[in-house]
Amino acid sequence: QATIIDGKKIANEILKNLKAEVEDIVKAGKRAPCLTAILVGDNAASATYVRNKMVAAKKVGISSDTIRLPTETSQDKLLEEVNKLNNDEKVDGIIVQLPLPKHIDEQKVFNSVLRTKDVDGFSASNFGLFSLNMCALAPATPLAVHELILRTGIETKGKNAVVCGRSKNVGLPIAMLLHSDTHGDILGMDATTTICHRFTPPDQLTHYLQNADIVVSAVGIPNLIQAHMVKKGACIIDVGISHVKDPSANQFKLVGDVDFENVSKVASFITPVPGGVGPMTVVMLMKNTIIASRLNSS
């Protein structure tokens, strides 16, 4: 039976350390770091994500603000808002919550965020530095996966890792952290890493997974990863989040990509959903905001 990696507990421990860091910044006579979110449209899940980030900021002592814009906001207007925040010296970190309405080019908006305020790490300049392992601000979810693996003491060097999902914000940067070496700004994990995606045939997905010591799934398909696909003793990190109807309670519940109940019987470590990668992602965003405040004040 797998050990459950308690993301919430680890996240709370890190939050305490971050709170102490913010207190030190304030004691040194500087203002507290400040995080500003831009929320476009009325997507309920996005509003919840932003709220959770603001609650975490408050716990750490980071000041925060949310700018709400209507769905019909033009791309130019959004770029103008980002630019105002870029020029506001009281703002250290800027996040533009995804998804954006269809008429807006997400990457164009990310690229408009000043590199030193880009706490999501989605801008081309930060992502480029990240690819070269020279980055101060890497994307929060990949950092969350990285931190969970490190803190759990899972051996990665020379091991086989499979990442399911190749999105630019989640799957790809996770794979980059897993495969890279330990000589840069962010410690890589030296694993032999395979990326599977929507065009990986199901039998090949099973083939790669059965050989994987570490599996990170970032897809958004419930029960994609089943027990027969997993190597005995593997470490399973479930990034996926889907809302599915819970027939017993007649309401929606959150589930990951992994058949948790059965895969737990085969794996050695597993993250739950909720309570695994999610809370850690929020904490890594706070960490990035503190780093950004140092970059902006230096």
> How far is the C-alpha of 268 from the C-alpha of 74, rounded, in Å?
49
> Of residues 53, 117, 159, 287, which has the active-site annotation?
53
Answer whether the bond into residue 274 is a cis peptide, omega within 30°. yes
User: Is-catalytic flag, 97?
Assistant: yes
The contact pattern for ligand NAD, residues 257-296, with x = CB under 6 A and - = no contact, is: --------------------xx--x---------------
Only one of the segments 15-23, 57-65, 151-159, 197-205 lies at the binding site for ligand NAD (rule: CB under 6 A); that segment is 197-205
User: Is-catalytic flag, 259?
Assistant: no
Q: Is-contact 155 192, C-beta < 8 A?
A: no
* 167 is an interface residue for ligand NAD by CB under 6 A: yes
Residues 6 or more apart whose CB falls under 8 angstroms from that of 285 comprise: 35, 53, 56, 93, 95, 119, 120, 140
> How far is the C-alpha of 86 from the C-alpha of 82, rounded, in Å?
6
Strand 242-246, strand 251-255: pairing: antiparallel
Angle among Cα 221, 226, 229 to the nearest 5 degrees reads 120
* 163 is an interface residue for ligand NAD by CB under 6 A: no
Contacting ligand NAD (CB under 6 A), which of 73, 111, 112, 141?
141
> Of residues 92, 97, 231, 287, which has the active-site annotation?
97
Answer whether the bond into residue 99 is a cis peptide, omega within 30°. yes
Nearer to ligand NAD, 61 or 139 (CB): 139
Question: What is the dihedral angle through the alpha carbons of 18, 31, 28, 296, rounded to the nearest 10 degrees?
Answer: 80
Nearer to ligand NAD, 25 or 53 (CB): 53
> Of residues 92, 117, 118, 120, which has the active-site annotation?
120
Q: C-beta of 248: minimal distance to ligand NAD in Å?
A: 23
* 240 is an interface residue for ligand NAD by CB under 6 A: yes
Q: C-beta of 161: minimal distance to ligand NAD in Å?
A: 14
Only one of the segments 75-83, 149-157, 163-171, 264-272 lies at the binding site for ligand NAD (rule: CB under 6 A); that segment is 163-171
Only one of the segments 64-72, 152-160, 173-181, 195-203 lies at the binding site for ligand NAD (rule: CB under 6 A); that segment is 195-203
Nearer to ligand NAD, 94 or 196 (CB): 196
- Beta-carbon count within 10 A of 59 CB: 16
Contacting ligand NAD (CB under 6 A), which of 41, 101, 184, 220?
220
Within the chain, strands assigned E span 3-4, 34-40, 63-69, 93-96, 160-164, 192-196, 214-217, 235-238, 242-246, 251-255, 269-270
> How far is the C-alpha of 159 from the C-alpha of 22, rounded, in Å?
37
Nearer to ligand NAD, 97 or 112 (CB): 97
Give the tokens for residue 48: 């919840």
Nearer to ligand NAD, 18 or 239 (CB): 239
